Amino acid sequence: MCCLEITALLCISNLALTEASSLLIQSGESKFSPKYFQNFTIDIINNTLNLEMTTIKPFTRGFKVHLDFSISLGKTKHYQSVFSHIIDTCGVVSAVKNNIFKSWFQSMLEHGNFMYNCPVVVGHYFLRNWKLDGQLVPHYLYAGDYRVKGHFFFGKLKSKHEDFVLDLTIFALLKTN
C-alpha cells in the first residue's frame, strides 16, 4: 500500500549521511487499527526491510501521517525531536513534481506491489528486501541513533475527529565509517 508505510519508512532516509557515513535500519514496530487492516507486519533483518499487510478498507484523499524524527541523546534511549511534520500521504505519492518523498517511494516500487496513486484499494501489499539507497539521503543531520515515528490517521490530529489507522516506529543508526 503506497501512501501508508511508504511515507514513514522512506522518511527514514531523511537521516543525513556524510561522505563517510552509513545508515543502518535496526528495528521496527507497529500498531494498527483492525478497522483498516486484517494484518500488518514489519520485519527488519540485516538492514533489510520487509512489510506485509492486508487492507480491509480503501485509503483515500485526506489520509495523513504525522512524522517525528528524533535523535537519542548520549547512551540513553531518551530522544530529542529534530523534525516533526504532518504530510498528506496521497498528495506526496500522486504529486507530478518530483521531490524527495516521491524519489523514496519510487525506490520502493522496485521491491513491492504498492499502488502509485490514491485511492489505494483493498488488498494484500508487500515490500520485500528493501534497503535505503544512500544517494537518496539528504546531508544535514548528525551521526547517532534515530527514531522515526509515523502516526497515520484521517481527520484532525489529536482531536475527537481523528480516525487512527497505524503507528509505525523505525529505529536506525547513522554512523561514520
pLDDT in tens, 4-24: 444 444 444 444 333 435 778
CATH number of residue 171's parent domain: 2.70.220
Bond before 119 cis per omega within 30 degrees: yes
The least confident of 2-16, 66-80, 104-118 is 2-16
Q: Percentage of the chain with pLDDT > 70?
A: 77
Please give the pLDDT value at position 9.
Answer: 45
3-class DSSP state of 17 = coil
Q: How far apart are CA 108 and CA 132, in angstroms?
A: 9
Q: Which residues contact 17 (CB under 8 A, 6 or more apart)?
A: 23, 134, 137, 139, 174
Our count of domains for the chain comes to 1
Q: Which domain range does residue 150 map to?
A: 2-176
For the four alpha carbons of 7, 143, 68 and 169, in that order, the dihedral sign comes to positive
pLDDT at 67 over 60: yes
Q: Percentage of the chain with pLDDT > 90?
A: 46
Whole-prediction pTM value? 0.83
Please give the pLDDT value at position 4.
Answer: 45
Q: How many residues does the chain have?
A: 177
Q: Which residue has the higher pLDDT, 170 or 20?
A: 170
Q: How far apart are CA 164 and CA 155, in angstroms?
A: 9
